[in-house]
């Protein structure tokens, strides 16, 4: 554990010299506490995991299925919804369509040579089918199939090859069966004796770090027992962390955490927001992903500076909104936002500001809820029913949102929760519903001052620092990365571990890359309880 401390010294926020994170007395984390997690649940592949897995399996030049069952979000993450949601009849149908569509592409004359290592002797050739299917099934099902399982598929390929008079047509049916199998669609992380097997652990690691199925090297390591030793596990985890696929995996986590998919369909009224264009949503998503990827994997900075960093990425769409020169003629380039400008950190990004707002206006409540729930892992109860939730329209008496939401804070039934969220959102009122900077609303000067759990701020620049230094923020980030990995939020039997992880995060200088490694190596990550 001590070995990480020098790293802390080296890494401690190199880019925010003018305004450093608060120094914190780091409590030693000590040894990892035991966990007692809830019973295991089957995790159906998310649509992204399905796409990544079939690309790795059959070739990344294949056209991926456009329509799969939409993922359900639960407790803030699709990865948690994937452990509870059922599959609809339409979803079953879409899996069947996708399976045969992909199989047909994979067996087309231009693609099949990379998967079929032999020349078939005729429409039915059991040996060649076996040579094709055995390695393919192992990667698809993330384990070595039994001889019986392979025989059944070879038989199916033969029967279909005979009926259709075409060996590759027969293989299409067999590959279609492989992709509809529960062994492909569900992650079977069930364990025995309270622990995931090495092969199950390989799957959990691979989707956690890469958001795709294990490669052959990881499966080989799992099947040879290497993952049972701490050293062997560390070698594999470090190999995976050094692989570029880890960036894709982390981006997926941020996509889920921040619901960035919604930016693809960002809807704003162009009469209110003349700068609105349909490309802004997708550009804003890319900015958020590129900026956090660079923070974690290029700079490996203190993750708390996600709230305050001025390092970001913009394209021509965003450079106009941010009033900075576009670094590249085409696409995205790195920029350092001005130190005397209005915006910095995640909450200065158009993606967050536009997503947590209405189509025609900002929203102090929606932005405040986002900060409390997503960045601080606090639960804000829904408003009570049968209460008039309206706020006054702009008028000479209440020109800015601050005056208009005051009703929330005066009415006792509303104030309990709105006092927790509205002041945070009011701190972001210098940004309109699209995220464009403004100083006035309806002719009146905007007051963005406030207080976050004991820290006062004058505006969003200071609010960013207050969040960075809020002890709940790194604790929440530690909780969420673990939740993403195991597919549920920590329950009673995992509270000690969650607190330990928070202390480890501090011990490793709030390096997110190192925290991810800690989670992957921890005993908790492979602990499951017995099936009920």
Partner 1 sequence: MGWHRIGGKLALDRRTLLRGFLGGVAVSVALPPLEAMFDQTGTAYALDGILPKRFGVWFWGNGNRPEYWTPTGEGVGDAWSLSTTLTPLADVKSHLTVVTGTDIKLPNDAPHGSGAAGILSGGGLIDVLDESSLVLPTIDQVMAQHIGNETLYRSIETGCAGASGKSFNGPNSRNPPESSAVALYDRIFGPTFREPGDSTVDPRLGLRRSVLDGVLGDIDALKSQVGASDRARLEQHLEGLRDLETRLARLEEDPPDLEACSRPVAPVDLSDIDGRPQLRESNQIMAELVAMALACDQTRVFSHWFCDPVNDLLFPEASAGHHDLTHNEGGDQPQVQANTVFCMEAFGDFVRTLASIPEGSGTLLDNCAVLACSEVSLGQTHSIANMPILIAGSACGRLKTDHHYRSLGGENSSKVLLALLQAMDVPLSEFGSEEGLVNTPLSALFA
* Segment contacting partner 1 by CB under 8 A, of 4-12, 105-113, 330-338, 383-391: 383-391
Asked whether 232 and 218 are in contact (CB, 8 A), the reply is: no
Q: If you compute the radius of gyration of the chain from its CA atoms, what whole number of angstroms results? A: 26
Which residue of 19, 130, 151, 159 would you call a contact of partner 1, by CB under 8 A?
159
Give 214's Cβ-side CA count (13 Å radius): 26
Least gap, CB of 268 to partner 1 (angstroms): 5
| Nearest in space to 463 (alpha carbons), one of 353, 324, 322 | 353
| Nearest in space to 192 (alpha carbons), one of 487, 532, 531, 521 | 531
Distance (Å) of CA 187 to CA 204, 255, 502, 516: 8, 21, 28, 20
In the complex with partner 1, the residue whose CB is nearer, 342 or 487, is 487
Which residue of 23, 25, 31, 89 would you call a contact of partner 1, by CB under 8 A?
89
Interface positions, 29-48, toward partner 1 (CB under 8 A): 39-42
Asked whether 218 and 207 are in contact (CB, 8 A), the reply is: no
- E strand map for 266-396: 311-314, 333-336
Query: Which residues lie below 8 Å from residue 340, measured CB to CB, with a gap of 6+?
Result: none
148 binds partner 1 (CB under 8 A): no
486 binds partner 1 (CB under 8 A): no
Which residue of 2, 23, 31, 265 would you call a contact of partner 1, by CB under 8 A?
265
Which residue of 180, 316, 455, 499 would you call a contact of partner 1, by CB under 8 A?
180
354 binds partner 1 (CB under 8 A): no
In the complex with partner 1, the residue whose CB is nearer, 29 or 355, is 355
91 binds partner 1 (CB under 8 A): yes
242 binds partner 1 (CB under 8 A): no
146 binds partner 1 (CB under 8 A): no
Query: Which residues lie below 8 Å from residue 411, measured CB to CB, with a gap of 6+?
Result: none
Least gap, CB of 382 to partner 1 (angstroms): 5
166 binds partner 1 (CB under 8 A): no
In the complex with partner 1, the residue whose CB is nearer, 28 or 392, is 392
Task: Report the C-alpha gap between 426 and 433 in whole angstroms.
Answer: 12
Angle of CA points 354, 355, 361, to nearest 5°? 50
Asked whether 394 and 404 are in contact (CB, 8 A), the reply is: yes
Least gap, CB of 347 to partner 1 (angstroms): 21
In the complex with partner 1, the residue whose CB is nearer, 95 or 313, is 95
Query: Which residues lie below 8 Å from residue 220, measured CB to CB, with a gap of 6+?
Result: none
Taking residue 310's Cβ as centre, other Cβ atoms within 10 Å add up to: 19
Show the site string, 94-133: x = touches partner 1 by CB under 8 A, - = not: --x---x---------------------------------
Task: Report the C-alpha gap between 187 and 199 in whole angstroms.
Answer: 11
Which residue of 7, 26, 64, 74 would you call a contact of partner 1, by CB under 8 A?
74
Cα dihedral value 412, 414, 417, 418, nearest 10: -110
397 binds partner 1 (CB under 8 A): no
152 binds partner 1 (CB under 8 A): yes
Query: Which residues lie below 8 Å from residue 514, measured CB to CB, with a gap of 6+?
Result: 4, 7, 300, 508
* Segment contacting partner 1 by CB under 8 A, of 49-57, 170-178, 222-230, 232-240: 170-178
147 binds partner 1 (CB under 8 A): no
Total residues interacting with partner 1, rule: CB under 8 A: 64
Asked whether 32 and 523 are in contact (CB, 8 A), the reply is: yes
In the complex with partner 1, the residue whose CB is nearer, 176 or 342, is 176
* Contact residues for partner 1, defined by CB under 8 A: 39-42, 66-67, 69-70, 72, 74, 84-93, 96, 100, 152, 156, 159-160, 163-164, 173, 176-177, 180-183, 186, 188, 190, 265, 267-271, 276, 358-361, 379, 382-393, 531-532
């Amino acid at each position: 554990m001590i070995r990480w401390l020098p790293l802390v010294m080296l890494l401690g926020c190199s880019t925010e010299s003018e305004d450093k994170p608060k120094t914190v007395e780091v409590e030693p984390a000590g040894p990892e506490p035991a966990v007692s997690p809830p019973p295991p649940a089957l995790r159906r592949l998310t649509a992204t995991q399905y796409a990544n897995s079939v690309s790795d399996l059959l070739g990344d030049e294949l056209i991926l299925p456009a329509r799969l069952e939409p993922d359900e979000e639960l407790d803030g993450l699709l990865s948690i919804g994937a452990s509870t949601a059922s599959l609809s009849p339409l979803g079953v149908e879409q899996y069947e369509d996708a399976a045969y569509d992909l199989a047909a592409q994979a067996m087309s004359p231009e693609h099949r040579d990379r998967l079929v290592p032999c020349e078939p002797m005729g429409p039915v050739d059991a040996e060649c089918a076996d040579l094709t299917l055995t390695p393919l099934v192992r990667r698809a099902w993330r384990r070595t199939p039994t001889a019986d399982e392979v025989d059944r598929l070879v038989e199916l390929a033969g029967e279909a090859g005979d009926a259709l008079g075409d060996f590759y047509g027969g293989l299409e049916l067999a590959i279609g069966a492989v992709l509809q199998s529960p062994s492909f669609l569900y992650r079977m992380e069930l364990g025995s004796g309270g622990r995931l097997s090495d092969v199950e652990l390989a799957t959990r690691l691979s989707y956690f770090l890469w958001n795709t199925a294990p490669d052959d090297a990881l499966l080989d390591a799992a099947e040879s027992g290497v993952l049972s030793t701490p050293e062997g596990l560390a070698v594999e985890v470090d190999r995976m962390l050094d692989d570029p696929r880890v960036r894709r995996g982390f981006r997926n986590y941020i996509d889920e955490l921040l619901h960035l998919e919604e930016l693809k369909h960002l809807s704003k009224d162009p009469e209110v927001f003349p700068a609105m264009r349909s490309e802004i949503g997708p550009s804003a998503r890319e900015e958020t992903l590129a900026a956090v990827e660079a923070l974690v994997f290029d700079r490996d900075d203190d993750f708390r500076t996600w709230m305050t960093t001025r390092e970001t990425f913009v394209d021509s769409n965003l450079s106009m909104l941010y009033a900075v020169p576009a670094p590249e003629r085409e696409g995205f380039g790195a920029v350092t936002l001005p130190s005397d400008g209005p915006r910095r950190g995640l909450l200065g990004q158009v993606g967050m500001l536009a997503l947590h707002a209405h189509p025609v206006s900002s929203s102090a409540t929606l932005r405040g809820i986002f900060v409390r729930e997503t960045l601080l892992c606090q639960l804000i109860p829904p408003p009570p029913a049968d209460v008039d939730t309206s706020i006054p329209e702009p008028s000479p008496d209440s020109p800015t949102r601050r005056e208009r939401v005051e009703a929330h804070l005066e009415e006792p039934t509303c104030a309990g929760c709105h006092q927790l969220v509205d002041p945070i959102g009011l701190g972001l009122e210098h940004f309109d519903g699209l995220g464009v900077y403004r100083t006035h609303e309806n002719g009146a000067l905007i007051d963005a001052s406030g207080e976050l759990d004991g820290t006062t701020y004058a505006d969003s620049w200071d609010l960013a620092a207050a969040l960075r230094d809020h002890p709940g923020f790194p604790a929440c980030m530690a909780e969420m990365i673990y939740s993403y990995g195991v597919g549920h939020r920590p329950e009673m039997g995992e509270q000690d571990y969650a607190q330990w992880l928070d202390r480890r995060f501090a011990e490793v200088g709030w390096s997110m890359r190192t925290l991810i490694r800690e989670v992957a190596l921890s005993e908790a990550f492979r602990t499951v309880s017995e099936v009920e």
